[in-house]
Amino acid sequence: MEVALDGIGRVRRLDLTAGEWSLRGGSAGSELLWVRRPTGSPQQPAVERRDVAHGFRWVGAGSLVIAAALTAPDGTPTRLRFLTMSDVLGATRRDEQWRLVERRTHGAGKSALAVTTYEVLVLDTGHRSLLRVSGDVVLAGPDVELIELDSPPGAALPARP
């Protein structure tokens, strides 16, 4: 997987490979553009698709860190639309509401760990979960549990303007 972000956390370029499928896409204004094709047939014509969404979601903590950066920093609920990728990189639209719930510092001095908690509500199912992020690391969240941290987290993505 390769992902390149712009200055406010939007995906400018995304390259994913899963099984026998590859996906290449990115944002263009308020739209996401992407092409999905079998990896074994690069010459097979692929159709470019587009949808209005804030970003891509894939299995892995990276897309959660990107989504957290799009959330309003004052705790106001933020509605976000994602294109969620399946295990064969099929895209489905998913609307979520994200809200910053709490900022806390654990420990003191150089070993202090700033943790931000977000509430994530999937709008079509009503499923609610909590996500805990420190810098660029997801500490706990849906389908993510950090077992060990080898080094301090990096800087968080800049918050949206």
Domain boundaries, the chain: 2-145
- Whether pLDDT at 44 is above 80: no
Kindly state the average pLDDT of the residues 42-64. 86
Residue 120: its pLDDT value, please?
A: 96
User: Rounded mean pLDDT of the chain?
Assistant: 88
Residue 20: its pLDDT value, please?
A: 86
Kindly state the average pLDDT of the residues 103-111. 85
Q: What share of the chain is helix, strand, coil (3-state, %, to 5)?
A: 5, 50, 40
If one counts every other C-beta atom within 10 angstroms of the C-beta of residue 38, the result is: 13
Encoding tokens for residue 155?
């800087």
Residues 6+ apart with CB under 8 A from 115: 103, 104, 105, 106, 132, 133, 134, 139
Q: What is the pLDDT of residues 74-97, one digit of tens each?
A: 999 999 999 999 888 889 999 999
H or E element: which one contains 67? helix 62-69
